[in-house]
Amino acid sequence: MTPVSRQAARLVDGSPAIAEAHFRAEASPYHPRLRPDGWLNLGTAENRLVQDLHTGPPPRPLTARDTRYAPLYGTPDLRAHIARHLTDLGDRPVDPEDLVVVAGATAALDVVATALCDPGEAIVVPTPCYGAFATDLGGRSGARLLPAPPDAEDGHGLSVRAVDRTLAEARRDGVDVRAVALASPANPTGEVHPPARLRELAEVAAHHGVDVVADEIYAGSVFGPRPFTSMRALAGHARVHTVWGFAKDFGLPGFKAGVLHTTDPEIRAAARALAYFAPVSTHTQAHLTDLLADPARVHAFLAENRRRLGASYARAAALLDAFGIPYAPAQAGCSVWADLGGWLPRPGFAGERALWREILDRTRVSILPGEAFHAPRPGWFRVCHSLDAALVEEALTRLGRLLTEKAEKAQKAEKGAPHDDPRHTTGPARPLV
């Protein structure tokens, strides 16, 4: 007999690659003088571009109210401020009573999946998708994900046809599907889904009698020309539940504060009960209430966030262009979806894993392989750029040099010429000019 439950063992085995890669890279970070061979973490989608915007007047003193029990699904003040904020983001009124505040967007996804699904039931997920969905949506609920890869003509975009087909196949096979889940804006591609396509998705979900769960964590991090549209505004006859949090738009992942919005009374009641296991501290809630108290300041903060994310993306894209690395254009978020398929040492996802290990071992740059995001074909990697520009340049220059070296060796091998010993690529890279 094992000392832990089957549920616990399954959670351990299912630990997301995103989390493992993050803590490995953060254990020995790069410093140009103190640790020039250290790790550069472009695998974690942390928005480190806005930390200086949180400096200002000192936080208000701790009060007795901040130390006492509050409603475990969020204080009335914080839910009122979040409702106003989400109304501004989504152009549709949000009732504070429809909000459940929990310890991060991960917890909100876990809560809604546990409220919707019994073990063995399924959630359809258009791919490529957020790499931790399997854990967030299925880790505790016991739900399983059914990937819906895009049709060729859709590129990396949301394929409603693929979702419709996957739902129909599941019904034919006797699989009980409870929901369709997606990230909007998309992660890892950074696409802002067109409103017409989101509306079509809601219609397909309603036709099949399943709910829609939209992870809208990047709602305030859109820097491209297409504005964000919340699924709340397009629900129609579909039952829609949305998730948002402070991690990306406000650069506060360590605060672990997320929110579920649902207008379904039964799901809301279940979510409030489940919030018992994942509440946010009352002191943190008081701080976030103060953060959202001034709408003009919030508007200015988010405008600057979008400007900085856009500039950061443009710099990263220019570096990828300089090394001839293809990528999918992004409009939101913290990452670029880069195509390293031309450098795979062998076909298939085994080749992708081999290239990933080589990048880690030889450059000490952490990026995440597409297999972790259910990419439809091997070779895609998520490259995060929302950190100091000098660190991104160092990391992408290391990566670019490695790929250039591999291409040159391949060309020499084709010509039958001897090739030089591999160069070590973990030293400081020279700036691109």
Better-scored residue on pLDDT, 203 or 8: 203
Cα separations in angstroms, 81 against 294, 352, 408: 9, 45, 56
In 3D space, the residue among 196, 194, 269, 262 whose CA is nearest the CA of residue 226 turns out to be 194
**pLDDT score of 256 more than 70:** yes
Q: How many CA atoms lie within 13 A of 166 on its CB side?
A: 26
Structure confidence at residue 288 (pLDDT): 96
Burial state string for 299-329 with b = 16 or more CB within 10 A and e = fewer than 16: eebbeebbebbbebbebbbebbeebebebbe
Structure confidence at residue 156 (pLDDT): 85
Percent of the chain with pLDDT over 90: 80
What is the C-alpha radius of gyration for the chain, rounded to an integer number of angstroms? 22
Distance from C-alpha of 68 to C-alpha of 282, rounded to nearest angstrom = 7
Residue 6 pLDDT class (50, 70, 90 cuts): confident
Structure confidence at residue 418 (pLDDT): 53
Tens of pLDDT, residues 118-172: 999 999 999 999 999 999 999 999 999 999 999 888 888 999 999 999 999 999 9
Burial state string for 39-75 with b = 16 or more CB within 10 A and e = fewer than 16: bbbbbbbbbbbbeeeeeeeeeeeeeeebeeebbbbbb
Structure confidence at residue 44 (pLDDT): 93
Q: For 412-422, what is the mean pLDDT? A: 62
- Give this prediction's pTM: 0.92
The CA dihedral of 250, 309, 383, 332, to the nearest 10 degrees, is 80
Residue 312 pLDDT class (50, 70, 90 cuts): very high
Residue 421 pLDDT class (50, 70, 90 cuts): very low
> How would you class 87 by CB atoms within 10 Å of its CB: exposed for 0-12, middle for 13-18, buried for 19 or more?
middle
Q: What SS3 class is residue 35?
A: strand
**pLDDT score of 76 more than 70:** yes
| Beta strand pairing call for 211-215 and 177-183 | parallel
